[in-house]
Every structure is written in structure tokens, then in C-alpha cells.
Chain A
Amino acid sequence: MSLVPSDINTNAVQTPALSVRNLTVSLPDGMERKFAVEDISFDLMAGQILCIIGESGSGKSVTANAIMGLLPRVIRISHGAITLDGVDLVSTAQTTLRGMRGRVVSMIFQDPLSALNPLMTVGAQVTEVMMAHDIGTPNSRRDRAIELLNEVGLPDPKLMYHQYPFRLSGGQRQRVMIAMALALEPKILIADEPTTALDVTTQAQILQLIRDIQRRKGMSVMFITHDFGVVAEIADSVVVMEKGHIVEQGSADAVLNAPTHPYTKRLIAAVPQLTGKDRDLTQPDESAPILKVRSLVKTYASGSKLLGKRREVRAVQDVSFELARGRTLGVVGESGSGKSSLGRLLVKLMESDAGQILFEGNDIAGLPEKAFRSFRSQIQMIFQDPFASLNPRSTIGHILTVGPVAHGMNPARARDEARALLKHVGLDERAYDRYPHEFSGGQRQRVGIARALMFKPRLLVADEAVSALDVSIQAQILKLLDQIQRETGVSMIFITHDLRVASQICDEIAVMQYGRIVESGPPSQIFLNPQSDYTRELVAAIPGKRADIHNMMPTH
């Protein structure tokens, strides 16, 4: 059982392309710790892919920015050396560094939309890199740019050369970023979470592309990620970071299969595994389903009716499903599949255009807000972004009690229940008087869950409730949701883009694509015996899946 692709690059003699020694980067006063990274040392071997993995706040991005010389002004390298080609980058002048950037070291960023200039064509941005370093003539740069666009697998590179970024999909934009990074044939490529913002199938393609290019050009790649699945997919060696320190480093094989540091062990254990096993709930369900959705339709229209340039996007098309009492239905799909729209239709944050939503036998789809208000307390939602979903100007207590009080609960009783609930979701009672910014993402998501539970709802809709969280926190929140369901018998709709997460908590999974449910069934069917091509594609794209399949089917 190996977590690493067998065809690992094995250079007989390994020479470091980049070495970092005793690097310490200090933070300005008033931050939660003094150093972003403290006394870290590692080598990036020539022709290898080194993955730096850590959770948010571990200092992995700071390390990358320190190497590129892109640290914000207030964050300084206070100690250590970064050696590249015998040159120490820390003590080198800015102008020399600028000459090296792009030529020797190049970087790809997480968000390809904000890293590309929206007002410049793709071609102009790729040629600009070469122009900035005075390479070639306008004609040769143009040819080279088209060649690069071809190399990163963009369709019809000549046409693509004249496109603006907004016309491109997320994956295509990331390919353009990679083309820009490759323009000067750098020896070292730093990739800072380049696939985090992408859909799983796109992520698989981009990982493949980075690996191909790295092999073809013999580049060294430093790949920063928070996802062990990605590490298993492409890493040759791994550095694990926690709170600014390196806790473990070694070959990918060793770190993934035989981690020694407890933090690494914890992280690996927290990675959601594709179980492919169905969940067992104790009581069999014989009563009528709590929720029946019949041919639900939602269409977004943009443009003007008068000018006739009306464009329609069918977000949800003819969706039907049933949810049994006390069970969890996972709704899985990539961005634009309509899964979030479906969630919003169910809690009536958005009005549906046609179809029925039968909640306990009542059709709530067409109900006006006034009539629906009495149902609000029975159908609650957990939101995606723990930072945006809590009002920054309200105390946790206010956030929890405002809803019930507005529905007529006695404020004193609401306060007592809120305190009890805070304890129940694993927070301190004293959190009641604090403000959201005093809490971490995972703690805020617990507040979000407590808010939804204040009404003792019968249906919970969780919209990407764990996707903004680190894996170890993710595992805790999933456990909490599972525990709550077992205690209260609440039914749940769990919307996610992550099949691995869905496989952990759902009794049944519906896969959505282009606003339709293309397949639904228990996890065992979806993961082990997918019926539709799209589901097969999705399952195949899960990073680090090879390893999971081994775990799952030992007899295979």
C-alpha cells in the first residue's frame, strides 16, 4: 500500500536547487504570535516536487512569499538564508531580485481571477513578462506566447491570445497563469495553492499539467497546499508546517505512510476518506418523508426584456427528490451545478419558478413570506463562510437569540437556551458576550450551527458548511453534525463540492450537473459503482483517491 505514485523521479545524485536555512520571519507587534515562521530549514531538490503542507496560519504562504521577495512591507525576514544558485536572496538588493523573479523563480497564485489583469488580453499578459525582462522582439514574443498557451493545453491558442480573462473558466485562467510563470523558463516554480479555488475535475487536470511540465522541463516545483490528497497525487518530498515551525519533513512516501510527528498523524487522520460504506442509523425509517421536492425549477434571467438581449441561466432544472426523516441527503456538484441555488430555494431565500416543495406535506414553494414565516423556525440553514455569515457588529448572544426573540420567545429563556446550546456545540458559555472576530473559523462555524439549532428545527440545510475550514476542524464539525442528528433526529441536506466529505456524513447522495440531478443513490453506489459518466469522472478526479481505494477494498 503506497500513497505515492510509483514512478517517482529518482535522480541518482540530488542537488538542492533552493535551500532555506534557519529562516525566521517576524510579524509586526500586536499579531497573535511574534514570528510568521521561526527557524525553518529545508531543501528543494533539483527536478523534484516539494509539497509544503499546513493549515491556515501555519506560515506556508509566508515562506513562499519570502522566497519570491514578495512579503508585505511590515513583515520582515529577521534571520536566516535562502540560497539559490549560490546567491543568498535575503541579503541581495531588490534590483537583482527583480531580475531573478520570473527568470529563475516564478510563482503561480491561488486565485487566477485576481492574479490576472482584467483589462489586458491573455496574450498581452504573457508577452509582458518577456518584455519586462527585455527578451525577444515583439514578433518572437508573440510566437513564444502562443507556443506557451499551446503548451499549457489551452484550446485554440491563437484565438486565446486575444481573449480577456473574464471570458475564460477558472481552470483556463490558471493555465494562463502557468503559461506566464513558464514564459522565462524558470528553474524553480512556486505554486501557492494553485488548485484550491478550482473544481475537483479541473484540479485533477491542473495537477496533471504541473506534473507533466515539471517532468518535461526538469524544473523544481515548490507546491504549497493544505490538502493531503493533493500531496499524495504529486509530491516527491513533503514539509509539514504547524504554527510557523516545520514539524516533519521527508520523502512523500515516508511522511504519508509512516508519519512520526503527532501533528502529521492527526492531519492525515483528519483527511476525509472516501468510505464507500453506507451509514448505519439505528432506527429504520418507516414514516413518510419529511421533504418531497417535485420538478423544482429556477431560472436566472439577465439583460433587458425590451432590448431582446435576454439571457437565461437555468440554475435548477426539474429537480425531484425525497428526504427521509432523520436522514442526510448529500447534494454534490461542481461550481455552477445549481447545488447552492437548490439550497436557497429550499429555505426560501430565493423564490422558485415552478415545482413543489412539500415540507411535512405542505407545499411551501409558492407561499408568500408572511405565510412562510411560521415554517422558518422549522427549516434552518448553516452557511458556508463562517466569517461572512455572522454579523461582525453583533455579540454571539445577540446572533443566537435575535431569531427566537423575533418569533416571540421570552428573552431570558432565549438567553438560557443559547448558553446551553453554546456548550452543546463545544464552545465556552462565556462566548455569549463576545464578538465573532474573537473566534477562529471552526469556532464561528459552531456558532453558525448553534444559531440554526436555536429553533429546534426539523430540517437543516448545510450549504458547504465545512468547505472553508481546515481539515482537522472539518472533521470535528462533521462529527458534531453527526452527533446532533443522532440526538435530535433532525433531517439534513448537506450541500458540498467535496465527494470525500459527502461520503462521511450522507445516507444518500445526489450528484448535480448543469442544474439537474444526474444520479442519486447511497454512497456505496456513487463511489464504487457509479452509473453515470459524470459521476465516474467526479470520483476519478478526487485527489489521493488511489490510496483511498486501496484502503477501501483490501481484497481487490
Chain B
Amino acid sequence: MTAIAQNTAPPRWWHSRAVRRFRNHKLAMIGVVMIVTLTLACIFGPYLLPYDSLHIDLRARFSPPLTGNYYLGTDPLGRDIAARLLMAGRISLMVGFFAMVLSTLIGTIIGVIAGYRGGWLGAGLMRLVDAFLSFPSIFLLLALAALLKPSPVMITIIIAVTSWMEVARIVEAEVRSLREREFVQAGRMLGLSGAHIMFREILPNAMGPIIVAATLTVARAILLEAYVSFLGYGIQPPLPSWGNMLNGAQQYLASAPWLAIIPGITITIAVTSFNFIGDGLRDALDVRSDPV
């Protein structure tokens, strides 16, 4: 049984089954709500809070949450944790987002070229992917972060450079199967250039898996940034990030546990939310999950 499309009004993309499936995916929708809330809070929150993230109040050091106007308490220097958490969120989310953009870009270009060209070029590029994958990425990350000046931009680039391989593999496999489809042959018959066929004809058809991988990359990049910053090689104080907030909390785990718990929970929420969204997108974009 094939469904034959009727010639009625052209359906818009938000009416599509994929969107409907995504909206029916409860966890993914929870993830979306969380991320949107978190992002809005990080953008506008700091303007609404009574204290600046760098404002030091030595009399109010180690205030537990809900003391006066310090809704989430203060840190060892008496700075407002709520303000620092949201400022840190700006940096951590930005690092996660731009690392995703950059790594997806690198992975997609390498994957498309390797998948479409194949032969020795494709094999060579995929061995490059293998070589990158064979480094333990955390150590590579730490080594690079120790050598280079750890600004947010540099951390973003380093994370991107160590996490594009997964996207490249996914895209390569996808493109290799799309390459054999007749519409690609038709493109060659029309005399389109290789670059045109790769990036204008094939790539839009591989967007589904790329979007899924990209979403999961955001989660991983946030985690990696937190990891490196926690070990002291990432974002440097006084600039806050979720990772270096955890770093600062190490010594006071027993006396002031909220210093660790609050950024810890935030990281968990951000990462799981992105993972939920990724899962939801995977289910929504997977044609096999169609009922008919």
C-alpha cells in the first residue's frame, strides 16, 4: 500500500509527521522547556538579580541558599551564587553551542567529501577520523588546554577539534548510501559539479542524523568544558563557568555543600535535557518509527 499524495495545499514543514512525533515525545519536550528556560534565565537573569556576579560581600561569605537576597547563597568570597551561576551559564552554553557548530561543520564537510568521493581520498579521510578517535579525547583536551591560552574561544575551538569525528562517521555512512540513489545519478547526468551534488543535492537529505548528532554534541561539549574547567585548565576565574564553580567548591564540600550541588545540578539538567532532545529528534526523524 502506497500512500499517494493528494494535490491539495502544499503542507508546511511544521505539519509534518516528524514534527508531530517530536511534539508527542514527552522527555524531549521536557528537555526543550528546560533548555529554553535555562537559556532565557542566563540571558535576562543577571539583569534582574540584585547583585552583580563580581560583587564581593565579605560579611556574607558562605551564606546558605535563601539568605536575604542571596537566593542561592554565596561563595567563599561572598559573591552571589545565583548571579555567578547564570553568568557561568552564558559561557558554558555558548561554549557548548559554538563547539557544536564548529565540530558539526568540520565533521560534515569531511564526512560528505569522504562519503561521496570514496576511493583513496575517502579512505584517507576516514583513517584521519580513526586517528583522531584513537586519542583519549580528555587527555588531548587537557594537553592542548595546558599549552594554549585557555580563553573561552580557545576552549571552544579545542573542544570542537576533538569532537567532530562522530559527525564525520555518521555523515560519511549516510552519504555513501545516498550516493547510489538515482537522483544523484540524475544530478551527474545534468552535468552538475561535484561540489553542487555533494552540498546542495545530497547534504539536505542527510540533515536528520546530523541534527541528532549535533544536539548530542552540545551535551558532550558542555560536559567537556565543565570537565576541563573543573581540573583548572579551562575557563579561568574570575570569569565563571559551571566547571570552575565546581572546582572552587572542592575544599568546602563538607562545610558548604551547596557550592557544589547547585552548579552540579545545573550541569546535569543541561546535559540530560540536550540528550532528551537528541533522543526525541532521533525518534522523530527516523522514518522506521512511522506506524505504516
Contact = CB atoms under 8 A, between A and B. Distances in A.
Interface of A: 27-28, 31-32, 36, 56-57, 59, 61-62, 72-75, 344, 347, 349, 373, 376-377, 380-381, 383-385, 388-394, 402-403, 406-407, 428, 433-435, 437-441, 448, 451
Given A27-B292, A28-B292, A433-B10, 13 more contacts: A62-B1, A72-B291, A73-B291, A74-B291, A381-B185, A383-B185, A392-B183, A402-B200, A406-B193, A406-B196, A438-B6, A438-B10, A440-B5
Interface residues on B, range: 20 to 34
Contacts of A403: 190-192
A451 B190 contact: yes
B201 A388 contact: no
A54 to B, nearest CB: 11
A487 B187 CA distance: 26
A383 B187 CA distance: 12
B7 A394 contact: no
B192 A72 contact: no
A503 to B, nearest CB: 26
A373 B188 contact: no
B55 interface: no
Contacts of A377: 191
Contact of A57 (B4, B7, B10): B4
Given A376-B189, A435-B10, A28 B1 contact: no
A32 B8 CA distance: 11
Report which residue of A57, A402, A434, A437 has the largest number of chain B beta carbons within 10 angstroms of its beta carbon.
Answer: A402
A390 B196 CA distance: 16
Nearest to A372: B191
B119 interface: no
A392 B7 CA distance: 16
B205 interface: yes
A interface: dominant SS: loop
Nearest to A56: B2
Interface of B: 1-7, 10-11, 181-183, 185-193, 196, 200-201, 204-205, 291-292
A32 B7 contact: no
A349 B182 contact: no
A381 B189 contact: yes
A418 to B, nearest CB: 13
B4 A72 contact: no
A373 B5 contact: no
Contacts of B291: 28, 72-74
B190 A393 contact: no
Contact of B5 (A349, A406, A439): A439
Given A57-B2, A402-B192, A435-B10, A393 B292 contact: no
B191 A389 contact: no
Contact of A349 (B1, B7, B185): B185
